[in-house]
Copies of this chain bind each other. A is one copy, B any other.
């Protein structure tokens, strides 16, 4: 199959990239830059794709910033620190983020006659994100199947896996975890160790019992299991 992978350069989508290639699919990777502060993540995505000889495109949606309203991923107020909690998480919501990403990936998939769009949604994706709900994805999959005479499917191979499961799969697939980047702070070469996504990342390695090669700015931050 030819698959368009929505590829952030983070841990989950890098493991998915390696898995799809191991299954001998042809993978086209797409990073969506919606004006977030972590450009560094996209740079890492580009680097990993170059290393693997995989096509990588960046969809620059930063021009949409005036339309996207308040969110710590696109605006200039502080990144919420600590474990995911409802109030601080709400700040990291980009409105209609998944539909935007899937619409762009769908356009590329149709123009390149890909069979499907894949992304690395997993079981730990928080219910605070309304567009992570099954019903949302099912409706959008139906729409995408009708958007052209040529139907593209949405696949989410990790939807029943925990992030620790994904780390274990990554070990088996020899994923270079140290090259992946997913911190909300976006400082090149170092993860803050404190934002929601860093806390999840540390926990996933701990739970999986796998050495975490990530450089964290705050090594001794409390990790609440």
Q: Is A131 an interface residue (CB 8 A)?
A: yes
Selected contact of A143 from candidates B95, B143, B148, CB within 8 Å: B143
- Which chain B residues border A69 with CB–CB below 8 Å? 110-112
For the residues of A in contact with B, the DSSP-based class is helix
Interface size of A by Cβ–Cβ distance < 8 Å? Answer: 42
Query: Could you name 20 residue pairs across A and B whose Cβ atoms are closer than 8 Å?
Result: A59-B63, A59-B64, A60-B63, A61-B61, A61-B63, A67-B108, A68-B111, A69-B111, A95-B107, A95-B147, A96-B103, A97-B107, A99-B103, A100-B104, A103-B103, A130-B148, A131-B148, A135-B146, A136-B146, A139-B139
Interface residues of A (CB under 8 A from B): 30, 57, 59-61, 63-64, 66-70, 94-100, 102-104, 106-108, 110-112, 130-131, 133, 135-136, 139-140, 142-144, 146-149
